[in-house]
Amino acid sequence: MYSSSGDSNGYHQDNKQQFGMSQRDRVRRVRAKSRDGFGEEQKVTPCTEFDKAYFNSYAHVGIHEEMIKDHVRTNTYRDAIFHHQSLIEGKVVVDVGCGTGILSIFCAQAGAKRVYAVDASDIAVQANEVVKANNLSDKVIVLHGRVEDVEINEEVDVIISEWMGYMLLYESMLGSVITARDRWLKHGGLILPSNATLYMAPVTHPDRYRESIEFWRNVYGIDMSAMLPLAKQCAFEEPSVETISGENVLTWPHVVSLLTFFAVQLTSM
């Protein structure tokens, strides 16, 4: 059960995925609960070196500061939680990838009976301290481990997660939300957010074109136009994350993908 090991407030470190795993352990299989629209046999993928580096990157304070200071992001989650308060009050919640625990605490403030705050990054240690400092240890149970590996011995009413990456899916975290859904969510439970739409639109970026392409026409008085094809190839092949204004957008966005998390299956991602 949630408080059976670890600190008195239920903090639990699950490192079993990191050390001394046999090849057999690496491809463990769990049988998801069979329910309408849900449930297919899932492979629990092993925690790779890439995953470890990924989780390590979330141990740094800077990324959490940046996310929390993104007021549009954080206030939107808080508003969504309180907008759905009637579905959260007295209910059991899982926060998939809790980070510093901020969304878990919002859920506790909204009256959740119990919140499982799960994170595989060492930031979970800090989340646990934040929970304690806010006297919420009786409600918020921090589980330090992958959603794919930790154990929660009850069904949950609500799953909350901030999983969106660049190009929506780039961070590849949605699979972990779906895994949580298939492992623990009650039939008819709530997923926040419950759907997502990926739009694509052509843009123009004259400043960037000038700096990265036109630049080669005259470099210290030397005609380096021979570099232009390579510069163009690299500029158009490589993704670039930039803030641009609405004026740069050339036409209406087009819906590329519409995901509904009650229906999407791991195998389709």
Ligand X SMILES: C[S@@+](CC[C@H](N)C(=O)[O-])C[C@H]1O[C@@H](n2cnc3c(N)ncnc32)[C@H](O)[C@@H]1O
Residues that bind ligand X (CB under 6 A): 55, 58, 64, 67-68, 97-100, 102-103, 118-121, 123, 146-148, 162, 173, 176
**Distance between CA atoms of 45 and 54, rounded to whole angstroms?**
15
- Whether 211 is catalytic is no
Q: How far is the CB of 211 from ligand X (least distance, A)?
A: 30
Q: C-beta of 9: minimal distance to ligand X in Å?
A: 19
Catalytic residue among 171, 211, 238, 247: 171
Shortest distance, position 113 Cβ to ligand X, whole Å: 20
Closer of 181 and 216 to ligand X (Cβ): 181
- Active-site position among 66, 155, 162, 238: 162
Give the residue with the Cβ less far from ligand X, 12 or 146. 146
Residue with smallest beta-carbon separation from ligand X: 97
- What is d(CA 12, CA 127) in angstroms, rounded to the nearest whole number? 12
d(CA 29, CA 40): 11
β-strands 195-200, 254-260 pairing: antiparallel
Nearer of residues 141 and 173 to ligand X, judged by Cβ: 173
The helix, strand and coil proportions of the chain, stated in percent and rounded to the nearest 5, come to 35, 20, 40
* Known catalytic membership, residue 162: yes
185, with CB counted inside 10 A (0-12, 13-18, 19+), is buried
Residues with a known catalytic role: 162, 171
